[in-house]
Structure 1
Amino acid sequence: MSLQYTLETQIKAAVKELYDANLENVELQPTRKDFEGDITAVVFPMLRVVKGNPVQIGEAIGKYLMENVSEVERFNVVQGFLNIVLSDSYYLDFFNSIEDFSSFGKVTQGKEALMVEYSSPNTNKPLHLGHVRNVLLGYSVSEIEKAAGKKVYKTQIINDRGIHICKSMLAWERFGNGETPDSTNLKGDKLVGNYYVKFDQEYKKQIAALLEEGKTEEEAKVQAPIIKDAQEMLRKWEAGDEDTVALWNKMNGWVYKGFEETYKSIGVDFDFYYYESDTYLLGKDIIEEGLKKDVFFMKDDGSVWCDLTDDGLDEKLVLRNDGTAVYMTQDLGTAVQRVKDHPDVGGMIYTVGNEQDYHFRVLFLILKKLGYTWAENLYHLSYGMVDLPSGKMKSREGTVVDADDLIDQMTETARKISEELGKIDEFSEEEKEELYKMIGLGALKYYILKVDPKKRILFNPEESVDFQGNTGPFIQYTYARIQSILRKADNAKVSAVEPSTALSASSIEMHPKEKELIKILQQYPETIQLAAENYSPALIANYTYDLVKEFNSFYQNVPILATQNEIEKVFRVKLSGAIAEVIKSAFALLGIQVPERM
């Protein structure tokens, strides 16, 4: 039974006994920092059933709690707020009750599964900064959902077909002179991306030439020979032309290998892959089913639509009049196929930028109309774009920030700042390189994940690697500091004192800073559940920062190893160790590693 439940029950009992009134709800909240107290009961809502002065009512309830709840040590009333101070023994009992802080807050996995889709790149270019936010969000949400008790399948659909893929293929065929990733010493996705840019350059030249001949811009875009050739290549691919399919397999193979290297470098993974080349024909049977159920209707030209006007949306095309699929057809088919492949899936999360908000509203609504029960548990993890101080990125023009280059830049920035601080002289070169990458990636991931997914981000690499403030390196440094304390304590054999004696309320007087740390530790399980419910790694990130801020305040104000009281020393070392375990656990949910030394 939780203390919150006990307080709610006893406050209702107090109101019944003191005022002969029935209180339906009790509003409890953390006490504000500028007042003494741990939990505050708000009296004002009680005035609906209890007539009187809120301060006097608060005083009366406070006295009742002192008599009936052993954990309540004292109280104070400020206007209509009853601030309750809990005993040291309550916090020590909680601390003693946690056997392993490394698994604290995590829930045993249930049977029903959740599928999280993220990344889902096109195979005509390398992953860029926009993809980085996508994969970091998708991976972190997957880990948070697992910690909250869900079974999670991590997946992506690779967009490996279409005109954009043919553009890279055609440019390589025409201008590549047979070069390969091996012959150029380039990652395959970078090599293919270069030819996507090359296509755009040639396309623009041909458009300019046609404009000089007197064509309109629209005519020039359609009549440029290179775009016609790309369209013909797509037609050949769809017809199964042997040479075209062989080229497609070869170049996509280069890209897949490049993607895997980037994912490994970023530290994310997937359980299952879907490919648009396999799924683009899915969904046609669903359209037939929907026509029979009157979910869809056919227009005179033979095209099939879904009328969503009664739902505040519009009519949506789901099948062209020539019988070919649109993206919506494919997404309907893929969703249904995923549940067929994994029958335990009870919901899906789609990590896709906010420019697709409308598409997913339509997709989810159509699936519900088709009668799929799991469609009630679909969620679009919509996120804002990532901008740089230099402006917006454009793939066709080759102005995107390549994910691999970004990781290298972050590592280099971490190297520069670490060397300036001069705290790693005793590290080997290999240890230094590993640390630089850990700090650089931690900075990148934390900077992106600490922001609410829906908000747009202006990413500043230098700012993200600051060792002060709300940054990944600041938190990593605090974790390393605690490890140093633990090593010193171990060398001094501090832990030799019997733990049960060390943490007894009768033998230790808690410092307010210790109490505050344990209060924040208590919030970790609830924070995991809230982050899972809201699909928001930002809640975990900012919780960790609050915990670290409080620890550093504790470290500055309370002697840990310098105290002469051995029992006090053991308690503070154990408390520091618990803080470190929760930092490590929380950062793992964000996909961030923490260094033992720094």
Structure 2
Amino acid sequence: MVCSYTNVSNFLEYKIRSLYHIWLFLAMNFIITATHKAIKELYNEEVAEGVINIQDTRKEFEGQATIVVFPIVRLSKKSPEQTANDLGNYLLENLKEVTAFNVVKGFLNLSIANEYWLSLFNNELLVPEFGAIKPNGKKVMVEYSSPNTNKPLHLGHVRNNLLGYAVAELLKADGYEVFKVNLVNDRGIHICKSMLAWQKWGNEETPQSSGLKGDHLVGKYYVIFDKEYKKEIEALMRDGLTEDEAKKNAPLILEAQQMLLAWEAGDDAVISLWQKMNGWVYEGFEVTYKNLGVDFDKYYYESNTYLLGKGTVDEGLASGVFFKKPDGSVWIDLTADGLDQKLVLRADGTSVYITQDLGTAQMKYDDFKMDESIYVVGNEQDYHFKVLFLILEKLGKTWAKGLYHLSYGMVDLPSGKMKSREGTVVDADDLIAEMVSTAKQKTEALGKVDHFSDEEKNTLYYNIGLGALKYFLLKVEPKKRLLFDPSESIDFQGNTGPFIQYTHARVKSLLNKAGYVSEPVTAPVELSETELEMILLLSKYPSEISLAAKAYSPASLANYLYEVAKMFNKFYHEVPPIVKEEDAAVKQHRLNLSAVTATILKAGMSILGITVPERM
């Protein structure tokens, strides 16, 4: 399967980061070839293929390419420093691309000629195909969102949806065929609670009559059920029942349980009510999904999948993976694997949650025949997925090796920053509205949109607000719990979405003002230190996609894009006004650098689901 970040070997990560991408490795291969020749001539020794590798030079040292000399010492029979100096002098004398070198212990740092970097920039970075990674022939499924149909999507769902979408887009950019799926929890006692409350206190209220989105309306009755249920519990406890007894015997919960039994028995009235209220919720969800900018290729519904898995249990019993207890319940013993015994089928033959998951996993594989399947689910389910994947492996499912739980931490808001409609959780629609409102206030305070039409302003506020939200949530490694401050995220300075968006708009303004047309520069141009740094940083874009995809971490791509934006602003302020530059070659090259920056910012932010405006 695609490796998680913790499973990517240090060597692989080193290779990806240091060689940027395969084309750069091939471009720098002339140094490796010359180094092989140097070892033969200097020490009369042959060196095995793969021993000599090039990495990028650390920022505190002069140079752009570094050879690690330690593996060569056994051939030279000299100290690392002496060996590095020998090789440095040889390369300086025999390679026109090498203009200088310095030695730091066992590291040979090489300075490469301007002409080389200009050629690399013109022939690789400036072409329209730069950053496009060829299809690798593998299929991957990303399952995310997975809401319950008894309430609106909330802040936790926002992180889930944005993370799942970005990971799917990353894998697509890295050459995978990607399927985005959503497993909707549309059955169970919690669904019946909303239905029963609407029956009792709804007075036929609908989204149309109430003016509420369907998911908010259904969520309203879930809250009403909870309030009335608590009243009944308190009343029963005053009559002498324990809290546990009261919870089990409250009339409301008994009625909800009866409704669930009727639903599962195919009662027409209950199914009709369920279909109507679920329909309201789905319409509401679609509005939220559209506003979040996420989509799905296929929906799975637990109402269609909850009976799956019993065949898998029979299969496991026949193979001896599962065992049956005297009461008829079916279990698997995972104590030898450091876990515990796990129930997979109740004594009465009904499914438990993992039974359904076993069957659904098989169904998804049968539907798509994917090589990998990623479950984007919060870290409270870490143990569940460890057990699920292990059971599937023990059942001999060859595709189980391709299953991965992308576990993520909770999102907190500073106390008092936002209050939800219910006063307990922040729902997604409130959060989106707050983000757009804050973006409007902060943008208007800068006074730079007075010449925009109302439609352009509203589009800009939406893009800035959603860009701020998405970037803030995605720039943090998924496993980390994070504190999200809506106001802090909408800042036009620092590591924020609006800063990157503003940088893109600045570049586009520059290019438009210059009447830019893309053309390679063939005349000699002296690169400043910052321009060289830009070429090196921009050249990493394809490898940053691959690294982020292999780590299932949009955070590394997000932070790379911030570095690109920061580097452009440094360049923009250091060089004289580009539009007024009199040297045509210098002007064209700097405009080319700016154009590639804009292209990378737009493409990279699009992978994260963020729109970058043309002007701000």
Task: Name the TM-score, length of structure 1 as normaliser.
Answer: 0.94
Partner of 1:53: 79
1:499 alignment partner, one of 519, 525, 530: 519
- Give 2:195's aligned amino acid: M
The counterpart of 2:187, out of the listed 118, 138, 161, is 161
Out of 377, 382, 389, the position equivalent to 1:352 is: 377
2:587 to 569, 584, 587: 569
Cα separation, partners in 2 of 1:67 and 1:282, compared to 1, 3 Å: farther
Asked whether the 8 Å contact 2:125–2:596 carries over to 1, the reply is no
Closer/same/farther in 2, CA of residues 382 and 279 from structure 1, 3 Å limit: same
Rounded Cα–Cα distance in structure 2 between residues aligned with 1:173 and 1:473: 46
Matching of residues 550-561 of structure 1 within 5 Å: 550-559=567-576, 560-561=578-579
- Aligned in 2, Cα 1:396/1:426: closer, same or farther, shift over 3 Å? closer
Determine the C-alpha separation between the residues in 2 that align with 1:156 and 1:181: 24
| Aligned match of 1:408 | 433
| Cα deviation, residue 60, structure 1 | 1.1
Aligned to 1:2: 26
What is the Cα deviation at residue 89 of structure 1?
1.9
Per the alignment, residue 532 of structure 1 pairs with 549
The 3 A distance-change label for structure 1 pair 405 and 260 is same
Cα deviation, 1:169-190, whole Å, max 9, x if unaligned, reads 1111111111000000000000
Map of 1:234 onto structure 2? 260
1:234 Cα deviation after fit: 0.7
CA deviation map 1:444-476 (0-9, x unaligned):
000000000010110000110010000000000
Q: How many residues in Structure 1 have an aligned counterpart in Structure 2?
A: 589
Quote the offset at 1:84 in angstroms. Answer: 1.4
The secondary structure found in structure 2 opposite 1:499 is coil
CA deviation after TM superposition for structure 1 residue 18, in Å: 3.0
The 5 A counterparts of 1:182-221 are: 182-221=208-247
TM-score of the pair, normalised by structure 2: 0.92
Aligned partners of 1:143, 1:326: CA distance in 2, in Å?
33
After TM superposition, the structure 1 stretch with the greater mean CA deviation from structure 2, 454-463 or 286-295, is 286-295
Deviation at 1:62, TM superposition (A): 1.4
Which residue pairs with 1:87 in the alignment?
Answer: 113
Amino acid at match of 1:535: Y
Conserved? CA contact 1:200–1:397, under 8 Å? no
Alignment of 1:93-132 (within 5 A): 93-98=119-124, 103-132=129-158
Task: State the alpha-carbon separation in 2 of the partners of residues 577 and 51 from structure 1.
Answer: 49
2:495 match: secondary structure? coil
Query: 1:426-456: per-residue Cα shift (whole Å, max 9, x none)?
Result: 1011100000000000000000000000101
| 1:6–1:366 Cα change, 3 Å | farther
1:262/1:153 CA distance change after superposition, 3 Å: same
Whether 1:588 and 2:606 are equivalent positions in the alignment is yes
Between the aligned partners of 1:563 and 1:131, the Cα distance in structure 2 is: 50
Q: Percent identity of the aligned residues?
A: 59
Work out the CA distance in 2 between the residues paired with 1:298 and 1:534: 40
Q: Deviations over 1:94-148 (max 9, x none)?
A: 2212376664222233433111100010000000110000000100111110110
How far 1:79 moved relative to its partner?
2.8
1:53, CA displacement in angstroms? 2.7
1:571, distance to aligned residue in structure 2 (A): 1.2
State which drifts further: 66-75 or 250-259.
66-75
Determine whether 1:428 maps to 2:453: yes
2:564 pairs, out of 532, 547, 558, with 547
Q: Residue type of the partner of 1:291? A: L
How big is the alpha-carbon RMSD for the aligned residues of Structure 1 and Structure 2? 2.1
Which secondary structure does the structure 1 equivalent of 2:371 belong to? strand
The 8 Å contact of residues 446 and 541 in structure 1, kept in 2 or not, is answered as yes
Q: Which residue, out of 271, 279, 283, partners 2:305? A: 279
Question: Which residue, out of 290, 293, 298, partners 1:267?
Answer: 293
Aligned counterpart, 2:532: 515
Give 1:71 shift.
Answer: 3.1
Q: Is the 8 A contact 1:157 1:276 kept in 2?
A: yes
Instruction: Report if aligned partners of 1:320, 1:326 keep a CA contact under 8 Å in 2.
Output: yes
In structure 2, give the amino acid aligned to 1:362: V
Q: 2:547 corresponds to which letter in structure 1?
A: L
Residue in structure 1 matched with residue 66 of structure 2 by the alignment = 40
Give the SS at the match of 1:142. Answer: helix
Query: Are positions 1:597 and 2:603 aligned together?
Result: no
Secondary structure of 1:98 counterpart: helix
Report how far residue 8 of structure 1 moved.
Answer: 4.2
Q: Identify which of 393, 413, 428 aligns with 1:368.
A: 393
CA distance in 1 between counterparts of 2:395 and 2:130 reads: 41
CA distance in 2, matches of 1:4, 1:430: 50
- 2:56 pairs with 5, 14, 30, which one? 30
Superposed displacement of residue 547, structure 1: 0.7
* CA distance in structure 1 between the aligned counterparts of 2:372 and 2:234, rounded to whole angstroms: 49
Q: Which residue of 2 aligns with 1:481?
A: 506
Decide whether the 8 Å contact of 1:237 with 1:245 is kept in 2: yes
The one-letter code matched in structure 2 to 1:527 is E
- Choose 51-60 or 334-343, whichever is displaced more: 51-60
**1:18 aligned residue (24, 42, 47):** 42
> How far has the Cα of 1:3 moved from its partner?
3.6
Contact 1:200/1:396 (CA < 8 Å) preserved in 2? no
Q: Is the 8 A contact 1:393 1:399 kept in 2?
A: no
Secondary structure at the counterpart of residue 466 of structure 2? helix
Shift of 1:68: 4.4
Contact 1:104 1:582 (C-alpha < 8 Å) held by counterparts: no
Q: Could you list the runs of 5+ residues in structure 1 that have no partner in the other structure?
A: none
How far apart, CA to CA, are the structure 2 residues paired with 1:102 and 1:586?
15
Q: Structure 1's 238 and 65: CA in aligned 2 closer, same or farther, altered over 3 A? A: same
The 1-side partners of 2:107 and 2:73 are apart by: 12
Name the structure 2 match of 1:443: 468
